[in-house]
Every structure is written in structure tokens, then in C-alpha cells.
């Protein structure tokens, strides 16, 4: 490591005085003009991580569903998973170090993490379509080069595509080819194989309107169009040519506001979906004949996939263990349907993709989705090997055919991370194979009315939770108060949890009617305000 070069380059990417940032589930995210030094330093960190593992590491420049003025960065570990928690701390340390301490912090990380400075380091870089992304990814490259690392710049890619490339590279191509063509070919081939078997009644062409949040999803989906069979007609809206990224559109907007995005005209009973800004989340929706808007969120996506996989697993007659992983935000109706009707075990974990992904790895088939539409399916190595073996060797026709469908599902699903394009194709294939309309899918169960609120508090740390964030341990008396309020309403539950990023407490309540869900949420917000140090005026109903 050349201290002189480090000093020289670091001075070109100075840290704004007094700025402190924290690496969270989403990496670093803030206003783009504050991130230059962070990008340079994450280039440094990526090289250290690559040498420590040793393997290729990914760096993605994106702020996902945040406004266009923001940006962010996250590191991708060797199998396409999120950065290891111990390295999240190193990332925070390095990003916040003063200029003169940079060398010292790097040396300390190298000692703690047993980094072998003689190992080669290769870093894959990708970025979204924000105006600031290109310049910021150049700063990452500066950091990589200072420490003698090598890089491959994929340029404009979706976040899940970068995760996919990293996984392909580190499995020596076993997961697929580490190119965009490789990604498009693998997914489209599996999709074609699946829908070949659908003898869908009525029209053979399937129309789907896709809101791409004026982001990277539009570019990559249109690049992929030539690979799709003519049966699938994709109509792209909010493609980024006219409007701002994530502005009044995208999966997050649709989910939060429970209404269609601007820039997409919906006719009754048309299937529509929205990606978020970096295309790692998806939600579906439609308008019924009376013009009423229906949202199909991550819970219902997980349910559709679970129904389909459970039928196939029953046909292959292997003792595969399947489970669904949710967070406390999952609608109570979905949990009830999965456990009681479908008889699939459901596990609840803390909010945050890394917790869901980690839990899903415990099963042969682990389905996980957050209500916001981020999710995927994980297959254990043993299950995947067995399924591929059945396709080759099984004599029984029904078993072999079911195994073949499962094999194509394994190839269509991006197991590294939630992927809007891959999830969309999985859903489209299942709807075609089962001959389901969007209304029939929506009708599997009825969501319990719910309400999300937030209360500003002086210090969010006064609230501590347990039982996958479903019960408050502190402040004293708060949980007892919530329990008493919940007893007043039918089919109700409520929980509170501190925000991961700001001094607010998030409140979720559901009940048998919207009126009751609203009333319960309001009463719980008052309890939080009074018992957890609320700021400003008390919450109004």
C-alpha cells in the first residue's frame, strides 16, 4: 500500500466536515453531493474485502426508491448476498474517518479481518440511471486503483443484475455467465420452457403493463424484450425519457399511496405492475369494473409462488422442507392462509432483507417476500441437485414432469436477491400455467384492513423490541397498553418499532374494518407519544 498515493487521491475526494453516515441494510444513502468521499472509500473497502475473502466483490451505486437527488452505495458479497455484518461496521468506520486517519483505519481493518494484501482483488461495478451515478462510480474506481485492485465496470445495470454477475463469477460460471446476455438468455430460456406447457384458455397473448419508475428497469427490460416469446407482450411505462426517477411512480409509491402511478392509464381488469428505482422490488395491481384499485403486494406474491411450488413438491414426492419467511408487516390474512389453508410453515423475522434471506436458507425451499415487494425463493444445494437428478433419471412421467417445471423455476428465479424482472417472469409463468386471471389471484384471500403511522420522538432508542419486533420491551408499560387496545377490536393486532434511520417510531395496526384499524393505529400512536417521549403536538386522528 502506497501511503503517498493514498494521501494524494484521498485529498481529491475530501470528506465534508462534521458529516457522519452509517452503513445500513441499504448501504449508504444520502444527498448525492455528500457522497464523493464515501464512494472513493468504498472502492478502498471493496479491494480489502476482495482480498480478505478472497473472491470478486460487487459495488452498486444506487439509492433505489429514494428521490433522484439522492444516491447511495452498497457492497455485494461473493455469492451475490449482502455485505457481511462485521464489514458493515468497517464500512461505517472508513466512511467517517478523518482524512489524516485514513491510513491507520485501513491498517486496523486489515489486522482485524486478516486481509492478505498479496491476494488479487477484482471488483465488479454497476450503477443506476441517476444523473450523479456516473461521476460517483468514477470515484469508486479511483479507490480501487489506489490499492492496486482491478475492476470490471458493467455500467448501467439493475441492482439484482450486479448481484447475479458477482455470483456467476465466484461460482466459476456454475450459476450462469457473468454477462448481461448470459442473464437474459438464462431467464428467457427457463421462461419459454415453462410457458410451453401452458395451454392457456382464451387468448394466447398475455399483455402486461409495467411501470419502470423512470429508472434502470426500463432500459434493461427493453433490452430483454427481444429474448421474450411472442406470447408475452410487455408494455413499458415511465421509461425515464420524460419524467424524474421515482417521482409519483414506482413500486414504493404504489404500495404507500395505494393508487396507480402517474403516467400509466389503466383499463378495468388489466394486469399491471411496478418496479422500484433499481428494479429489486415489484408489486402488481389492477382496477376492477367499478374502477376500484386493488394492490397485490409482496405477501400475495409469496402466496401465489407458495401454492405453485407446494403442488409441484407434492408431485415429486421428496421429503423437501418448504417454508415462507415474513416480517411483522405481513398482512394477518396472508399468514393465516399460508398456515391454515395451505399448511405451509411461516416464520416471522425482524424487518430487513438480510434477516429474511438468512432464515430462508434454513429450508430446502425458502420463500421470502417483504410486503413492499422485495423477495425471492431459495433452494438448498441438496434440493436443487435432487431436482436436476430427477429430471435426468426419473422413470415416472408425473414425477419427472414436475421436476422439470421445478428445474425451470430454479433457473428463472434470481436466488441472490429480490429481482423485479425475474419475479415478474415467475409470476407471469405461474398465472399462465394455472390459467389464473389477476382477479382470481387477488381473490385467494382478502387482506385485513391496516394502517401505518409514524410518531416523532426525541430518541428512538427508548423503544426496544423482541419476538421479531412484534412486542415492545421498553419503555415500561407500553406493551401492556398496546395489548389492552388490541383487545377492543376483532381480528386485530398492532406493533411498534423504532425506525432504522430517523427519530420516529413506526406503528402498524390491522383489524376487521378500516375504521377499526385506523382507530387502533391512532390509539397506539397516542400511547407511543405519551410513553416514549413524543415530539411536537400529539398525533391527531
Residues designated catalytic: 64
Specify which residues 73 forms β-bridges with. 28, 61
Strand 322-327 versus strand 346-349 pairing type: parallel
User: What phi and psi values does residue 98 have, to the nearest 5 degrees?
Assistant: -70, 155
Secondary structure of 236-274 in HEC code, one letter for each residue: EECCCCCCCCCCCCCHHHHHHHCCCCCCCCCCCCCCEEE
* Segment holding 474, helix H or strand E: strand 471-474
C-alpha span between 500 and 173 (Å, rounded)? 37
Question: What distance in Å separates the CA atoms of residue 285 and residue 266, rounded to the nearest whole number?
Answer: 10
Cα torsion angle, 461, 467, 472, 474, sign: negative
- Smallest CA-to-CA distance from 182 within 195, 193, 167 is with 167
Q: Can you say whether residue 254 is alpha, beta or left, with left for phi > 0 and alpha for psi between -120 and 50 degrees?
A: alpha
The H or E element spanning position 428 is helix 420-434
Give 146's contacts (C-beta < 8 A, 6+ positions apart).
2, 5, 6, 9, 43, 44
What's the rounded Cα separation, in Å, for the pair 56 and 79?
A: 9
Q: What is the CA angle 251-160-431, rounded to 5? A: 60
What residues form the annotated binding site? 64, 276, 278, 280, 370-372, 497-501, 506
Distances (CA, A) of 240 to 61, 135, 217: 18, 19, 9
Name the phi and psi angles at 124, rounded to 5: -95, 135
How many angstroms separate the CA atoms of 28 and 75, rounded?
10
352 in helix, strand or coil? coil
Among 284, 297, 313, 233, residue whose Cα is nearest residue 437: 284
Query: Which residues have a Cβ under 8 Å from the Cβ of 519 and sit 6 or more positions away?
Result: 489, 511, 541
Amino acid at each position: 500500500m502506497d501511503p503517498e498515493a493514498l494521501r494524494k487521491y484521498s485529498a481529491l475526494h475530501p470528506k465534508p466536515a462534521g458529516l457522519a453516515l452509517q452503513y445500513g441494510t441499504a448501504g449508504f444513502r444520502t444527498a448525492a453531493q455528500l457522497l464523493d468521499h464515501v464512494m472513493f472509500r468504498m472502492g478502498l473497502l471493496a479491494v480489502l474485502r476482495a482480498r480478505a475473502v478472497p473472491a470478486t466483490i460487487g459495488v452498486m451505486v444506487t439509492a433505489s426508491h429514494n428521490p433522484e437527488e439522492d444516491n447511495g452505495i452498497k457492497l455485494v458479497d461473493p455469492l451475490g448476498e449482502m455485505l457481511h455484518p462485521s464489514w458493515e461496521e468497517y464500512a461505517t468506520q472508513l466512511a467517517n474517518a478523518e482524512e489524516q486517519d485514513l491510513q491507520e483505519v485501513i491498517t486496523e481493518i486489515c489486522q482485524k479481518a486478516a486481509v492478505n494484501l498479496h491476494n488479487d482483488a477484482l471488483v465488479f461495478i454497476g450503477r443506476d440511471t441517476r444523473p450523479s451515478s456516473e461521476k460517483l462510480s468514477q470515484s469508486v474506481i479511483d479507490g480501487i486503483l489506489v490499492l492496486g485492485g482491478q475492476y470490471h465496470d458493467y455500467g448501467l445495470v439493475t441492482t439484482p443484475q450486479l448481484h447475479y454477475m458477482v455470483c456467476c463469477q465466484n461460482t466459476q460460471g456454475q450459476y450462469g455467465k457473468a454477462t448481461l446476455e448470459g442473464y437474459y438468455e438464462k431467464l428467457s430460456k427457463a421462461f419459454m420452457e415453462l410457458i410451453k406447457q401452458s395451454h392457456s384458455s382464451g387468448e394466447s397473448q398475455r399483455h402486461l403493463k409495467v411501470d419502470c419508475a423512470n429508472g434502470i428497469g426500463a432500459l434493461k427490460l427493453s433490452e430483454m424484450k427481444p429474448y421474450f416469446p411472442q406470447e408475452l407482450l410487455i408494455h413499458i411505462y415511465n421509461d425515464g425519457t420524460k419524467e424524474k426517477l421515482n417521482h409519483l411512480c414506482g413500486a414504493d409509491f404504489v404500495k404507500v399511496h395505494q393508487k396507480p402511478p402517474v403516467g400509466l392509464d389503466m383499463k378495468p381488469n388489466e394486469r399491471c405492475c411496478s418496479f422500484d428505482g433499481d428494479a429489486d422490488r415489484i408489486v402488481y395491481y389492477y382496477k376492477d369494473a367499478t374502477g376500484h384499485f386493488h394492490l397485490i403486494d409482496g405477501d400475495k406474491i409469496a402466496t401465489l409462488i407458495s401454492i405453485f411450488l407446494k403442488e409441484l413438491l407434492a408431485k415429486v414426492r421428496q421429503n423437501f422442507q418448504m417454508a415462507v419467511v415474513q416480517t411483522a408487516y405481513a398482512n394477518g390474512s396472508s399468514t393465516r392462509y399460508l398456515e391454515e389453508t395451505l399448511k405451509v410453515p411461516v416464520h416471522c423475522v425482524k424487518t430487513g432483507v438480510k434477516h429474511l434471506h438468512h432464515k430462508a436458507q434454513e429450508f430446502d425451499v425458502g420463500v421470502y417476500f417483504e410486503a413492499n415487494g422485495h423477495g425471492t425463493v431459495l433452494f438448498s444445494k441438496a434440493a436443487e441437485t435432487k431436482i436436476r437428478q430427477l429430471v435426468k433419471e426419473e422413470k415416472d412421467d408425473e414425477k419427472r414432469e414436475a421436476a422439470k417445471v421445478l428445474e425451470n423455476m430454479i433457473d428463472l428465479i434470481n436466488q441472490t436477491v429480490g429481482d423485479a424482472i425475474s419475479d415478474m417472469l415467475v409470476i407471469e409463468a405461474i398465472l399462465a400455467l394455472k390459467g389464473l386471471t389477476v382477479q382470481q389471484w387477488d381473490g385467494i384471500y382478502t387482506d385485513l384492513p391496516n394502517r401505518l403511522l409514524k410518531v416523532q420522538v426525541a430518541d428512538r432508542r427508548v423503544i426496544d423490541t423482541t419476538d421479531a419486533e412484534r412486542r415492545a420491551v421498553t419503555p415500561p408499560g407500553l406493551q401492556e397498553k398496546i395489548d389492552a387496545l388490541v383487545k377492543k377490536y376483532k381480528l386485530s393486532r398492532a406493533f411498534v418499532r423504532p425506525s432504522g434511520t430517523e427519530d420516529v417510531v413506526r406503528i402498524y395496526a390491522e383489524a376487521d374494518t378500516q375504521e377499526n384499524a385506523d382507530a387502533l393505529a391512532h390509539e397506539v400512536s397516542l400511547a407511543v407519544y405519551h410513553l416514549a417521549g413524543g415530539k411536537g403536538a400529539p398525533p391527531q386522528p
